[in-house]
Amino acid sequence: MALVNEHFLKLPNNYLFADIAKKVNAFKVSHSNADLISLGIGDVTQPLCPAVTEAMHKAVDEMADRDTFRGYGPEQGYPFLREAIVKNDFLPRGIHLDPNEIFINDGAKSDTGNIQELVRWDNSIGVTDPIYPVYIDSNVMIGRAGTVNDGKWSNVIYMPCTAENNFVPQIPDRRVDIIYLCYPNNPTGTVISKEELRKWVNYALKNDTLIFYDAAYEAYIQDPDIPHSIYEIKGARKVAIEFHSYSKTAGFTGLRCGYTVVPKDITAGTIDGRERISLHQLWYRRQCTKFNGTSYVSQRAAEATYTPEGKEQVKKTIQYYMTNARIMHETLTRYGLQVFGGENAPYLWVKTPQGESSWRFFERMLYEAHVVCTPGVGFGPSGEGYVRLTAFGLREDCEKAMERLGKWI
Amino acid sequence: MALVNEHFLKLPNNYLFADIAKKVNAFKVSHSNADLISLGIGDVTQPLCPAVTEAMHKAVDEMADRDTFRGYGPEQGYPFLREAIVKNDFLPRGIHLDPNEIFINDGAKSDTGNIQELVRWDNSIGVTDPIYPVYIDSNVMIGRAGTVNDGKWSNVIYMPCTAENNFVPQIPDRRVDIIYLCYPNNPTGTVISKEELRKWVNYALKNDTLIFYDAAYEAYIQDPDIPHSIYEIKGARKVAIEFHSYSKTAGFTGLRCGYTVVPKDITAGTIDGRERISLHQLWYRRQCTKFNGTSYVSQRAAEATYTPEGKEQVKKTIQYYMTNARIMHETLTRYGLQVFGGENAPYLWVKTPQGESSWRFFERMLYEAHVVCTPGVGFGPSGEGYVRLTAFGLREDCEKAMERLGKWI
């Protein structure tokens, strides 16, 4: 008799964004004429840039011709893209990677979810709180997170990030096997300094901890002192796996392309303590077995973001979103709200007034101002009392939303 | 201290096709002028058809325009494609599916590897032998396959398919929790009749067994009596999950698109025996957490295979490959070899003469005839003494290879 994986049943019934969609739909049914503006889910609105679409048309033409047709690509991704990544995303920051340390994927969500397959099911995990839900949920599914009580999982160490500690998580006072970090942070939009990041790398080196570092939003960093990659810190090659994505960098949410860096120096132990195993080899084996590469057309699209025109065009779109973020930050602050993030990230993290709950503030904003945000508590217990706003909207929507929020507050 | 998932270490060091590539490369180094023909890996050679590339160009143009740009699609895939699948792949065979029972993916390899996440790690599995290596390897990684001895895994029930039983696997005499079936079969190229398939569905209904049915090659079926889907059998909706792919159907190996059918009737039990859990809901939750949909451009490409022009063009390419298969089958039989498959599938399964081992025959064919095949034993113990040839080559290569094999044998 086939038995279900019961760890799945421990998951809350719905994914955060599905819950929000349901509430928004309920609103729409009773307010069919309302002109709703969404600053909720983190999806982009600007089209792909010309350099990218030209490369895609060319790739499609290649696929139409017997002489240039491409079938299965390497599971790890095409060398042309892996080489462009090493040269453009890392070398200018003084980071030397081997193209074989890059694994092209179909987006950061897949790999941040799959990476935990490489480690024992009973390793302990630590997360900054609030956090992107996939990190914890993918661990719940394998039984690693334990059981849930009051929104907290028994085998997860939470490191609160709130206004009280200026969103700087405290290094745990005990040994944790695996730490998830995401900078610039989703959802808070805050960043980490080199000094703070160095503390984490040193902690990991000392405690034989693995760091899963999500850098999906690094392209939004404006301040030249903020690190774009954990490999800017000495020693990180031995402890950190890093995730990147073209989704937010170049508007690829519908195209599906990203990459994971697994350095060849990174190892984990066996339970008998006798061996160190290369995680690079394990991940390669995992990808060859369960993944067949991402679309050739998407890989050529990603490559085009590194041409001079591509770089210029991508940068322009990021500036567009960051101008949104600036407008939102200034306006909401003027309205007397406490606003965090939004300076090196496309997310603004707003404290609800008078300690109102996240969901209550979300619902009032929806019903009274017709603006959709994301309740902070959906990202973890320390998100209670905050909401997330995204800067990915169209300028005119963004400005209209600010006007409405002004009248409403 | 982070500990490695030790189940990974039980895997043989290399994936079959990586092993072959290594041997082929070694050959090339010592025979730099040899004109090698590969009938080995199952990759297509014909370009995408015009209906598909036109749809792709159109999709790229949509992505270049703010008004038609698409960001994140539904994790389950776009309704336009799921509806086209239900209408074209199932309805004409009398199968009624709800579009919500279709989950678009980035190819069958991912989902045949991931599907086992839904069931307990200690469920028993049964496979026909020889078989596509991903089914077993993905179970090894989670610890379900047990330990390996002489190429056999301790917790896997093998159902031999050889010339002796005419490639008809025997139904197990005991209860097995999960059965993997693949028809038309990779690697043997053989098919299953409705009568035989009915026995499996009845076995599953009686024993509360789950069937993972891989139908990736169904488009190659020529004989009108052979089932294209397990859902042609009454009761299958309660026990079977089915995998499809556009890779071989329409040459999408480089584009990455396929789909999984998870009927709403299918359930698995909890260990206390009190509840039946919907696998449809579980899979939806899994996909929302760990997958972000496949490329919009690839989904529009897949949709185009269902237009009248698309259908005609796809059919023509399949006939091209099946003509290769006919030529190969006739020629090799004339040379006195025992050849199976190749009539309703793009694979030919050839018995090695005088009981030679698969790898020995592979190496002789490589060094003496300069033709690459796949050693049957790479697909499981019962593949020993066979090699697989694919019909996916160019016609001229295929004919030249047959000529060489004639002289060689």
Residues 6 or more apart whose Cβ sits within 8 Å of residue A54: A304
Which of the listed residues A276, A308, A340 is the one where a domain comes to its end? A308
Compute the nearest-CA separation of A354 from chain B (Å): 33
Interface subset of B 270-299, CB within 8 angstroms of A? 270-271, 277, 279, 282, 285-286, 288-298
Interface of A with B in 186-225 (CB under 8 A): 207-210
Distance from the B225 Cα atom to the nearest Cα atom in chain A, whole angstroms: 31
- Which residues neighbour A395 within 8 Å (Cβ) at sequence distance 6 or greater? A320, A323, A324
Query: In 10 A of CB A47, how many CB atoms?
Result: 20
Same domain, B23 and B60: no
Residue B6 lies in a domain: no
Cα distances (angstroms) measured from residue B196 to each of A289, B31, B162, B181, B286:
30, 47, 16, 12, 32
Mean pLDDT within A182-211: 98
- Angstroms from B360 CA to nearest CA on chain A: 25
Q: Say what the pLDDT of residue A6 is.
A: 94
With CA atoms as reference, report the closest residue to A387 among A402, A372, A397.
A372
Is the pLDDT assigned to residue A381 strictly greater than 70?
yes
Q: How many CA atoms, within 13 angstroms, populate the side-chain half-sphere of residue A144?
A: 28
Q: Do A403 and A279 belong to one domain?
A: no
Q: How far apart are CA B65 and CA B63, in angstroms?
A: 6
User: Which residue stretches of B148-245 are H helix?
Assistant: 194-207
Same domain flag for A300 and A319? no
Confidence (pLDDT) at A1: 87
- Tens of pLDDT, residues A222-278: 999 999 999 999 999 999 999 999 999 999 999 999 999 999 999 999 999 999 999
- A250 and A373 within one domain: no
Q: What is the pLDDT of residue B356?
A: 97
- Claim to verify: residue A250 and residue A111 sit in the same structural domain: yes
What does pLDDT average to over chain B? 96
Q: What is the pLDDT of residue B14?
A: 66
Q: Which of B114, B269, B295 is facing A1, going by the closest CB pair? A: B269
Residue A141 to residue B70, Cβ atoms within 8 A? no
Are residues A3 and B293, on separate chains, in Cβ contact within 8 Å? no
Are both B248 and B315 inside the same structural domain? Answer: no
- The distance of B357 to chain A (nearest Cα, Å) reads 25
H or E element, residue A242: strand A240-245
- Answer yes or no: is B203 within a domain: yes
When mean pLDDT is compared across A164-168, A325-329, B37-41, B200-204, the lowest value belongs to B37-41
Search chain B and give the residue with CA nearest A120.
B5
Inform me whether the pLDDT recorded for A194 exceeds 70. Answer: yes
What does the pLDDT read at residue A12? 81
Q: Cβ–Cβ of B292/A107 closer than 8 Å?
A: yes
A to B CB pairs, distance under 8 Å: 268
B31 and B89 part of one domain: no
Other C-beta atoms within 10 Å of B225: how many?
A: 9
Using the beta-carbon criterion (under 8 Å), do B72 and A41 form an inter-chain contact? yes
Per the CB < 8 Å rule, is A290 touching B134? yes
Q: What is the ipTM of this complex?
A: 0.97
Q: In whole angstroms, give the CA distance from residue B275 to residue B134.
A: 30
B109-156: pLDDT as tens digits: 999 999 999 999 999 999 999 999 999 999 999 999 999 998 899 999
Are residues B393 and B269 part of one domain? Answer: no
Q: Is A58 exposed, middle or buried (0-12, 13-18, 19+ CB in 10 A)?
A: middle
In tens, the pLDDT along B342-361 reads 999 999 999 999 999 999 99
Q: Residues of B with CB below 8 A from A283's CB?
A: none
Question: Residues B63-92, buried b or exposed e (16+ Cβ, 10 A)?
Answer: bbeeeebbbbbebbbbeebbebbbeebbee
Q: Are B148 and B174 contained in the same domain?
A: yes
What would the two tokens of residue B251 be? 């040459």
Q: Does B69 touch chain A (CB under 8 A)?
A: yes
The Cα diameter of chain A in Å comes to 67
| A75 has a pLDDT exceeding 70 | yes
What integer pLDDT is reported at residue A17 of this predicted model?
Answer: 80
Average pLDDT, chain A: 96
Q: Which of A5, A20, A53, A243 to mutate against chain B (most B CBs within 10 Å)?
A: A5
Q: Kindly state whether residue A1 falls inside one of the protein's structural domains.
A: no
A124 in a domain, yes or no? Answer: yes
Residue of B nearest to A42 (CA): B72
- Domain extent, residue B20, equals 13-47+309-408
> Of B53, B268, B286, which is closest to A60 when you measure between CB atoms?
B53
Q: Residue B18 — very low, low, confident or very high, per pLDDT cuts 50/70/90?
A: confident
DSSP letter for each residue of B210-235? EEEEE-TTGGG--STTS-SSGGGSTT
Q: Is residue A81 part of a domain?
A: yes
Domain total for chain A? 2
Q: Which of B255, B290, B307 is the last residue of a domain?
A: B307
Q: What is the DSSP letter of A228?
A: S
In this structure, what are the phi and psi dihedrals at residue B27, rounded to the nearest 5 degrees?
-60, -45
Record: contact B45-A69, CB cut-off 8 A:
yes
Region A400-406: what's the mean pLDDT? 96
pLDDT in tens, A85-107: 999 999 999 999 999 999 999 99
Q: Output the pLDDT for position B19.
A: 85
Chain B residues lying within 8 Å of A5, measured CB to CB: 117-121, 282
Q: A234, A294, A288, A291: which is closest to A258 by C-alpha?
A: A294
Percentage of chain A beyond pLDDT 70 is: 100
Best CA proximity match to B214, nearest among B319, B132, B92, B116: B132
Chain-chain contact of A1 with B208 (C-beta, under 8 angstroms): yes
Q: What is the model's pLDDT at position B16? A: 80
- DSSP 8-state assignment for residue A47: P
Region class of A125: left (phi > 0), else alpha (psi between -120 and 50), else beta:
beta
pLDDT value of residue B407 = 94
Band (pLDDT 50/70/90 cuts) for residue A14 is low
Same domain, B25 and B66: no
Rounded to an integer, what distance in angstroms lies between the CA atom of residue B192 and that of residue B173?
A: 20
Identify whether the C-beta of residue B182 lies closer than 8 Å to the C-beta of residue B128. yes
CATH assignment of the domain containing A337: 3.90.1150.10
Q: Measured between CB atoms, which of A46, A137, A269 is closest to B1?
A: A269
Render pLDDT for B42-93 as a digit per residue (tens, 0 to 9): 899 999 999 999 999 999 999 999 999 999 999 999 999 999 999 999 999 9
Regarding whether A281 and A135 lie in a shared domain, the answer is yes
Q: Write down how long chain B is.
A: 409
* CA angle (B131 as vertex; B129, B133 as ends), nearest 5: 130
- Give the tens place of pLDDT for each residue, A32-53: 999 999 998 789 999 999 999 9
pLDDT at B15 over 80: no
Q: Are residues A26 and A91 in the same domain?
A: no
Say which CATH number the domain at B260 has: 3.40.640.10
In this prediction, residue B12 has a pLDDT band, given cuts at 50, 70 and 90, of confident
Q: How is A180-198 classified by DSSP, letter by letter?
A: EEESS-TTT-----HHHHH
Of B289, B307, B325, which residue sits at a domain end? B307
Do strands A347-351 and A339-341 pair parallel, antiparallel, or not at all (unpaired)? antiparallel
